[in-house]
Structure 1
Amino acid sequence: MTVTADVQQGAGSGADVPFPGWADEVRALAKKRGAVLLAHNYQLPAIQDVADFVGDSLALSRIAADVEADTIVFCGVHFMAETAKILSPEKTVLIPDARAGCSLADSITVEQLREWKAEHPDAVVVSYVNTTAAVKAETDICCTSSNAVEVVASIPEDREVLFLPDQFLGAHVRRTLDRENMHVWAGECHVHAGINGAELTRQAETHPDADLFVHPECGCATSALYLAGSGAVAADKVKILSTGGMIDAARATKAKQVLVATEVGMLHQLRRAAPEIDFQAVNDRASCGYMKMITPEALLRSVRHGTDEVHVDPELAARGRAAVERMIAIGQPGGGE
């Protein structure tokens, strides 16, 4: 198995466990089933630690396609498991709890996208990978938070762009490229949107020597750039990063303390990547309830009984796969979000 720069191999932990030895039982059942265990960066620490690979959604989906395992157990939210199925249609994909949804993916339906496209018939549709399979099937090209600027920049300047669904990531891209003919859908992740500029400013004032790692989905991303532009925080301390980019930056920074603006599950991997650094959440309440639905008990049930299997209509999957492949053709997409 190959571990990319955006994905870390799992280790052992005693946190959040249902009973002693549960992790060994999970691994034994997965081996018996011929399954690989994938966990997103926002999962519970115990889930991250039992997984074969930990990372962000697209990086994990690409690993799912590369590994020899016939079964993928994806510990994340539903659109992530769908993406793995899109890229690995011949494999069995399981999600330990099919109820684990995503407020961002749910912020645009395929019907809404079709109506939007009808209003702009010549526009190029760019969809964040944090979308459903049905939306990906109506998309011209996907993007990740780490390559969204590059993807939109590849589109001829005289073509309109419909960017969806995240308004904060879209605003970041439009601001970076100064692109007036780019329309941005008003969607958001409720967790990231809740990390606001006032909190970030307050934390930055309290920790003047800290680096700021800010996910572009956050409601505070514009504030972070303002702090850098105004000189309130040194420009080289403010970094707008995907989750995979945060891991790389953690290993490279010389800072002793880092303020992190994203879902709090990310702190576990950051602290593993650079244990000498004090990582602190900008908002320690920024926890995704959907991600935390994947409990050790749910994972045990999934590897024992094969629940819950994810299915994607083959025709939808083929169209969605084409949108992902167009993105990859532009350049290495790095992490998923």
Structure 2
Amino acid sequence: MATTLLEAQIHNGPGGYSGVSGTPEWASEVKRLARERNATILAHNYQLPEIQDVADHVGDSLALSRIAAEASEDTIVFCGVHFMAETAKILSPTKTVLIPDARAGCSLADSITADDLRAWKADYPDAVVVSYVNTTAEVKALTDICCTSSNAVDVVASVDPDRDVLFLPDQFLGAHVKRITGRKNLHIWAGECHVHAGINGDELTAQAMSHPDAELFVHPECGCATSALYLAGEGAFPADRVHILSTGGMIDAARVAKSKQVLVATEVGMLHQLRKAAPGIDFQAVNDRASCKYMKMITPAALLRCLIEGKDEVHVDPEIAKAASKSVQRMIEIGTPGGGE
């Protein structure tokens, strides 16, 4: 099928690019164009299944950014949301980084701006700033150490116990870190991912009670993480079957899970990789409506258009990138960030 015929089918609307399906012909053309551009295609775990299946690498945002930095290809096509492509550009400043639709933002990253952080730092001038990797490049540039959900506890524990810590932007991950570390001088920004915040404790409790033999995989960004731990702590659900995990950690846990069913509290795109990792397990979403509209803006049409036109290219101001890279590199040196967000 000629590129011109596929290209003619692409429509651009407020919700993203449409008009092209993830057919075998589409997949073949995407791979051909990627080779032609000397590009590698990276897809986050929350992407549409057809995007995940055509990608060269699938994973969490930090793992993918590290792959981008080590890739031999000149061009990185990052199928994810904008802050993820920015992180790849920070770690790969000499490479061309493309995102199939620059409108794919992130409610969590948008919950704090650089000006917000400057004002917060002014209130705590001696504090150490720990930022979740789900932040803009400008915020990373004002950060002392970035973290992922898998190494957030280690990052905070590495800070002098007498120093205040400003933890941002996710309040649920912050609460999880504070609970584990017991740190009294940890100040938490009141941001949230609208998708994870919408997976509530009542839903999780109801699902756990109706599936008593299942395991629970809960992302620490979820509003229901506290409820999961409460269920385990009160003995209402076996503690050894409650797991608070990053997306990368979920894949690892799936491969060694002993239960025949696992209830998953995170964005529904994660189910595709979990089912591939452990096909013998019945993975079910705690909330099957937990779908990120921004992640799903990376459609087959958007990816095809990206490879045809070389759009949308991601740029980060060199001075901001230089400052941001320091906080990202410090994160990589602490704990085990490979499990990513």
Q: State how 1:1-337 maps to structure 2 within 5 Å.
A: 17-337=21-341
Counterpart-to-counterpart distance in 1, 2:340 and 2:256: 20
Given the two structures, how large is their TM-score scaled by the length of structure 2?
A: 0.94
Q: Which moved more, 1:215-224 or 1:18-27?
A: 18-27
1:269 Cα deviation from its structure 2 partner:
0.2
3-state SS of paired residue (1:249): helix
Letter in 2 for 1:317: A
Counterpart-to-counterpart distance in 2, 1:331 and 1:199: 32
Structure 1 residues not aligned, in runs of 5+: 1-15
3-state SS of paired residue (1:21): helix
**Number of residues paired by the alignment?**
322
User: Deviation digits for residues 220-273 of structure 1, max 9, x if unmatched?
Assistant: 000000000000100000000000000000001111000000000000000000
User: Deviation digits for residues 157-191 of structure 1, max 9, x if unmatched?
Assistant: 00000000000000000011111100000000000
3-state SS of paired residue (1:79): helix
1:18 Cα deviation from its structure 2 partner:
4.7
1:330 Cα deviation from its structure 2 partner:
1.9
Counterpart-to-counterpart distance in 2, 1:273 and 1:114: 42
Counterpart-to-counterpart distance in 1, 2:335 and 2:97: 27
Q: Which residue pairs with 1:10 in the alignment?
A: none
3-state SS of paired residue (1:69): coil
Counterpart-to-counterpart distance in 2, 1:179 and 1:204: 30
Structure 2 residues not aligned, in runs of 5+: 1-19
1:20 Cα deviation from its structure 2 partner:
4.4
Q: Following TM superposition, where does structure 1 have runs of at least 4 consecutive aligned residues deviating by more than 4 angstroms?
A: none
Counterpart-to-counterpart distance in 1, 2:253 and 2:23: 36
Q: CA 1:19–1:236 in 2, change beyond 3 Å: closer, same or farther? A: closer
1:19 Cα deviation from its structure 2 partner:
4.5
Letter in 1 for 2:181: L
Counterpart-to-counterpart distance in 2, 1:24 and 1:242: 32
User: Conserved in 1, the CA contact under 8 Å of 2:151 and 2:334?
Assistant: no
User: Conserved in 2, the CA contact under 8 Å of 1:57 and 1:335?
Assistant: no
User: Conserved in 2, the CA contact under 8 Å of 1:168 and 1:217?
Assistant: yes
1:318 Cα deviation from its structure 2 partner:
0.7
User: Conserved in 2, the CA contact under 8 Å of 1:56 and 1:243?
Assistant: yes
3-state SS of paired residue (2:227): helix
Counterpart-to-counterpart distance in 2, 1:19 and 1:218: 34
3-state SS of paired residue (2:312): coil
Letter in 2 for 1:113: L
User: Conserved in 2, the CA contact under 8 Å of 1:70 and 1:91?
Assistant: yes
Given the two structures, how large is their TM-score scaled by the length of structure 1?
A: 0.95
User: Deviation digits for residues 18-69 of structure 1, max 9, x if unmatched?
Assistant: 5541000000000000000000000000000000000000000000000101
Letter in 2 for 1:116: W
Identity, in percent, stands at: 78
1:327 Cα deviation from its structure 2 partner:
1.2
Counterpart-to-counterpart distance in 1, 2:90 and 2:120: 24
User: Deviation digits for residues 191-226 of structure 1, max 9, x if unmatched?
Assistant: 000000000000001000000000000000000000
Counterpart-to-counterpart distance in 2, 1:19 and 1:89: 34
